[in-house]
Amino acid sequence: MKLTEFVVPDAIIPDLAVDTKDAAIRAMVSSLRQAGKIADEHEENIVAAIMKREELGSTGIGRGVAVPHTKHPSVDSLVATVAVCNDGLDFASLDGEDVYILFLLVSPPDRPGDHLRGLETITRHLKNDDFCRFLRQSRTQEDIVELLAEADENQI
């Protein structure tokens, strides 16, 4: 599975400026709604589902990265967005460090394999120090889309 198959370019936030985990998740879900991937009437339910998942344990996986995610029946296929928080954000990460890179993933409940493959694809790339460094240096949606495509082609 490739990042460019499920990350929505128009939903990417290259300059996320928030100061709470809740605000970050709301902004990212809103960006998916604005990009036409989530219906208005489901936005709050998706935010609530992601926050409920966060109560089980932070998706701040360490190394400045978080991957909030949920399954929701309102989406037909796996959708995701990326945000870069230049100032860092307390996400209650496993290593106690601030988060700078966020991937938010929403998938249909009847496609658990897609959900797992999406998470695996994201985490595989996030283990690459160069990918993370370049992502944090990206300033526009276009920069991030180009970086995702390069990562898909193993050029990073």
**Catalytic hit among 69, 72, 115, 125:** 69
Q: What are phi and psi of 56, to 5 degrees?
A: -70, -25
Q: What are phi and psi of 23, to 5 degrees?
A: -65, -40
Asked about 115 being catalytic, the answer comes back as no
| Secondary structure (3-state) at 109 | coil
Residues in the chain, overall count: 156
Of the CA atoms within 13 Å of residue 37, those in its CB half-sphere come to: 25
Question: How many CB atoms within 10 Å of residue 133?
Answer: 10
Contact 70/49 with Cβ under 8 angstroms?
A: yes
* Structure tokens belonging to residue 24: 């970050």
User: Could you list the active site residues?
Assistant: 69
